[in-house]
Amino acid sequence: MHKDIATPIRTKDILNKYGFSFKKSLGQNFLIDPNILRNITEYANLTKESGVIEIGPGIGALTEHLARSSGKVVAFEIDQRLMPILKDTLSPYDNVKIVNEDILKADVKKIINEEFSHIDKLMVVANLPYYVTTPIILKLITEALPIQGIVVMLQKEVAERISAKPGTKHYGSLSIAIQYYMTAEVVMIVPKTVFMPQPNVDSAVIRLMKRPKPKVDVVDEKFFFEVTRASFAQRRKTLINNLTSQLLEGKAKKAEIIEVLHSLNIDPTRRGETLSLEEFASLCNALYPIIK
């Protein structure tokens, strides 16, 4: 067994060897606690038949744990300066491929077809760069990629928003967008002390598993997300105020929107955060013929 990359001493040695300095703009915070990396890997339930996509491998601390537990790892790293380091630190593992690309610009579907053609179960496991967490997760979920689940470390607050239940302060359009496709649970809270450099906030690991089909039936997904975004546009405003100000022709059709809400037993003066996914689906389906 090779020595873990993720110890404070080994991490410092690697960074010194290559004269690497952290780029704040890339949200680089490297994990220096092997136990946490083992836990993250375990939450993904990997086997030698599993494939893994990683985003932002850094110096390979999590990557090596994923390589030990799975059949193949493809890691996307945007920072060109890390390529020689990863080549060195991950040299013991022949089942890892590093792609020097921005995951948000990459054709992930094409890479999956090329790299994981022989693999049935595909997971995304990563310590995500905090400044792009939400766009990355939304891209992975909405591009209809053949992935079973996502286990990622992210800001604790974002994890709480993703997994939030109706009627709580963290519940919003992001909770709905993700829970529509996936089940969501926070599996671990991680203190800032296990990172180098230390971030300003605590982190959490969230596990998202794809539902066999979306949680609710809607006539038009795009419109469903428009309605949910509109409902949370200004959190303090009532549902009817948000819908009329945000939806196309909302003001002109205010009376019809109120009628729809009453027909669904939804009080127009409720706030968006009190509606369940099921209520939003009914609302979307009833508004669709009127607004579209």
Instruction: Give the residue ranges of the annotated binding site for S-adenosyl-L-methionine.
Output: 29, 31, 56, 77, 102, 127
DSSP the chain: -PPPS-SHHHHHHHHHHHT----GGGT--EE--HHHHHHHHHHTT--TTEEEEEE--TTTHHHHHHHHHSSEEEEE---GGGHHHHHHHTTT-TTEEEE-S-TTTS-HHHHHHHH-TT-SEEEEEEE--GGGHHHHHHHHHHTT-S--EEEEEEEHHHHHHHHPPTTSTT-SHHHHHHHHHEEEEEEEEE-GGGEESPPSS-EEEEEEEE-SS-SS--S-HHHHHHHHHHHTSSTTS-HHHHHHHHSTTTTTTHHHHHHHHHHTT--TTS-GGG--HHHHHHHHHHHHHHH-
